[in-house]
Amino acid sequence: MWWIINRVFQRMKDEGLSVDVQFLKCLPVPTVSERLRESIEDITREFIAAATAGVTKRDEILLLETELNELVEEAFSLTDEEKRVLVNSLPLRDPIASIPDRAK
């Protein structure tokens, strides 16, 4: 979503993004199987719980964020080539791209 948002939402003068409801309504939301939806929900709940626990759960947060990203890629049925395009054109401050740095 970060990749899409960075290409759709208007930039403000400080490089922030202006969240405009008309564009927010147009974000793609794939139809997925019940199993995949439940997996995304479960990991999201775990992620929120770990994130609210603070710094002590840092490694768990990074792992859950990576797992959630993989499930979203599956939801969008991305091919390996599409994943490479996304990785090679990530916007600045992409949360997933920074995981290896944050894990250090």
pLDDT at 104: 47
* Inside any domain, residue 81: yes
Boundaries of domain holding 84: 56-90
* 3-class secondary structure, 56: helix
* Inside any domain, residue 6: no
* Inside any domain, residue 48: no
Domain count, the chain: 1
Q: Decide: pTM greater than 0.85.
A: no
Ramachandran quadrant class, 15 (left: phi over 0; alpha: psi -120 to 50; beta: rest) = left
* Inside any domain, residue 61: yes
- pLDDT tens series, the chain, 104 aa: 777 777 778 888 877 777 778 877 877 889 999 999 999 999 999 989 988 886 677 788 888 988 998 999 999 999 999 988 888 887 666 666 656 554 44
* Inside any domain, residue 5: no
* Inside any domain, residue 17: no
